[in-house]
Amino acid sequence: MFLFAGGIILFLNSYQKRILSNQLKMQEMEVKHQQELFYGNLESMENERKRISRDLHDEVGAALSTTRLIVCQIQEKDTDDAQTLTEECKKMIDKTMDNIRRISNDMLPHGLEEFGLEYAIEELCDKVMMASDIDIDFDSEDYHGVNKKAELVIYRIVQELLNNSLKHARATEINIGIQKPDEEEDYLITYQDNGIGFEYPVPRKKAGLGIMNIENRVKMIFGSMKLFTQPQQGFRIEIKVPVSILLQNEN
């Protein structure tokens, strides 16, 4: 009887263990599949952006440059009215070229692939500081990531956060940090502004698409995030990303 009872308990125990292990495997496969889907989408999106960026730069930009040269030639030969007109044309073409350059840079993070995440974020911060009165402090320690896809996700998160601070927060100071606390298995990415903040989680339910996007991006790189904000108390987000993900060679 005891032997039988023991046998049944052992059977049930082993059975449940196998079921759990199978479920875990299934979940892992699902997560992997989701990640592959995400990376696939991301890759096609980024490829498309690259293509558009190249086209804008190489074709439209070049065509505009040529047009500008022609206009310059007209200017040298024609009357005063034509000179005024061509002057305006030149200004417009210059403006268009600047716009194209800006759109092209926005689509393809400048320097991310060549010089890495730290450089790309610094560039982004410089651009924001030039375009606004916001003072940004970016601090990065001990960062050695190599996974370009994951880095692109982090870059887009920072871009989204900066965009939010610019559009809604009325912030004057922003602190961005990437650290690897000792003996931790995760990189800690912190972002803090001194803006107007908001009541969390209420806005998330109403119109928190930006936060949802950030949350989804964080999940895709197996990270976790904590958000701290209240009205008139600024905004702070802490994102943890496993070191293993950032050190993973994407090939």
Partner 1 sequence: MRISTLIAVYAPISLLLPVTVALVRKKYLVNELRPVAFYIGLQLFTEIFIRVLSFGFHVRNSLPFLHIYTVLEFSLICWFYYVFLKDFIHKNIIPVLVTGFLLFAIINGVFIQTVFEFNTYPRSLESLLIVCLSLIAFYKMFQTLEYVRIDRTSVFWINSGFTLYFSGNLFLFVLGNLLLSKDQELSRMAWAIHAGLDIFMNIFIAIGLWWSRREQ
Identified binder of partner 1 from the candidate list 6, 16, 41, 250, rule CB under 8 A:
16
Total binding residues toward partner 1, as defined by CB under 8 A: 11
H/E stretch holding 178: strand 173-179
Q: Which is nearer to partner 1, 11 or 115 (CB)?
A: 11
- Candidates 7-15, 40-48, 204-212, 223-231; binding stretch for partner 1 (CB under 8 A): 7-15
Residue 25 touching partner 1 (CB under 8 A): no
CB of 33 to partner 1, least distance (A): 21
Identified binder of partner 1 from the candidate list 2, 6, 11, 25, rule CB under 8 A:
11
Identified binder of partner 1 from the candidate list 12, 45, 92, 129, rule CB under 8 A:
12
Residue 26 touching partner 1 (CB under 8 A): no
Identified binder of partner 1 from the candidate list 6, 14, 55, 87, rule CB under 8 A:
14
The mark string for 55-94 relative to partner 1 (x by CB under 8 A, - otherwise) is: ----------------------------------------
Q: Which is nearer to partner 1, 16 or 41 (CB)?
A: 16
Residue 2 touching partner 1 (CB under 8 A): no
In order of 37, 57, 187, 209, 237, the CA distances from 126 in angstroms are 33, 21, 23, 26, 21
**Given strand 135-140, what is the order of strands in its sheet?**
135-140, 173-179, 186-193, 235-242, 224-229
Identified binder of partner 1 from the candidate list 2, 4, 76, 182, rule CB under 8 A:
4
CB of 47 to partner 1, least distance (A): 41
CB of 32 to partner 1, least distance (A): 21
The amino acid at residue 191 is Y
CB of 28 to partner 1, least distance (A): 17
The token pair at 149 is 């896809």
CB of 16 to partner 1, least distance (A): 8
Residue 230 touching partner 1 (CB under 8 A): no
Residue 212 touching partner 1 (CB under 8 A): no
Query: Cα angle at 80 between 74 and 84, to 5 degrees?
Result: 75
Cβ-proximal residues to 122 (8 Å cutoff; 6+ apart), any chain: 138
Residues near partner 1 (CB under 8 A) are: 1, 4, 8, 11-12, 14-16, 18-19, 22
